[in-house]
Structure 1
Amino acid sequence: MRRLLRKARRLMNDARDVVFPERLVDPDIDTAEARAEARWETLFAPFQSLTEDADILEIGCGDGRLLQGRFQASPDQGPARSAVGLDHVDYWNGQGGAVALGPEGAGSRIELHNDVRYIHALDGASFDLILCHNFETMFELAEVEDVLRRLYDLLRPGGDFLVVVGCPDLASDDSRGPGYGVLTPSSWMMLMMRAGFEVRSVRRQWKSAEAAAAAAAILPLASEEERMTAELRCHLIRPWEAAELDQLWTA
């Protein structure tokens, strides 16, 4: 399956080179696209969320190429329907040293904003899938609970939230570090479930042996997973609520 997927993407890239020959004079475009696709394959694709005909929101969208890639059909899924990308800087225009997203990428189906607070201007229940690979760099610790609840509201019932969060180096007091320096794996899980999400699956990245030993000295009664987790890659579900199910049955 992966071999067929690679062949399909190669054919689509060749076709775009014919239609948009300006791609051929800038090799950085291929590098930027490969980097975005590698992030998708590493962080999000393993959760096998449905992207076909989906409305997608990405927070921390960078140059927009990860979203752009979701409009390319693959052997197992068709293209997405629409996408919104938010970030602090408009990398898609070449800011911050990024490779600008060309006219072939900034089509009518992708809407990009350089202010993550735009999540408060979006209509509720607008998305089937929300992505975020750098949560702590997008939001402050004081707003985490409000943001998680807002993202819950932006998802349609049954929608997916794929998010990557860090867990702190407990020997450091850096409030700008992973997990804001304080949020352990169980803290993150509590906040996500309190916002209303159900946790479908979690993939953990582990700390070095030295960092795990330091954590064990600080949290001697905590579990090994609690002390050793460096990063959580979470697949969260926005469940159907009772009132919404009642509406379905009475419709």
Structure 2
Amino acid sequence: MLIKPEYFRKMVRIWRQPELSPRAKLLISRRLARQYDLIDEIDGLLLSRLIRDLKKGLPFTKSKIDKLEQDYRNQCALRQQARLVIGEWLMSTSTDIEKKIGVSGICDALAVNPVHRRGLTEAKKGRALDYIAFVAGLEDSATHKNAKRQSPVKEGPLFHCVLELMVSFSLEHPELMPDPFAPNGPLYGKPIRMVDGNGQVFTTRPAQTLHDETIVDNLLDHPGKEQPNG
């Protein structure tokens, strides 16, 4: 549910107050981020409907369509910047928040289902907020219909803020990002298409992995059983 613009601006002013408690700031961050998500969804629907109607009058309505699309991109960019601010605050203060309100307090603020809280032992000390909001995607899990199985889609409002931060960082510092095609990477073993200086496209493939003779025998005897690489 969208809140009125004047209330939204008041929440932003409160969020900026330095004396605000970590719990209150975390709750307000979630509400602001949720507002951005809702506006994205509503604006996207309105834009598609307006453009669909304006396309009936092409080519005379092209300038109006271009302006609508540009205005939409500008507004999206502003909301992206706002998410970046929230994401940076979360990542820089997550340890302090955990010290002051504890993991249980974070779970309460992020509406994590009690069933899902049992698996938080994987979170490193001082990084529970990062793990809940981004890694595990447990934000708002208390609203899921099936409490015993979390949603396969990560879509919490704070998750989008951290994701915006991660995308921004990867674009600004590509040299610091790991190679996804390297050994143990998520795309290791996949063929890579590249373009040489003459514009010719060629495909490179990783070298074949040789297995120990015993492992090969086991694979032949039990083809349906997974074996570790040698």
**Short-chain TM bin:** under 0.3
* Bigger share in strand: 1
* Bigger share in helix: 2
TM-score computed with the length of structure 2 as normaliser: 0.24
Larger Rg: 2
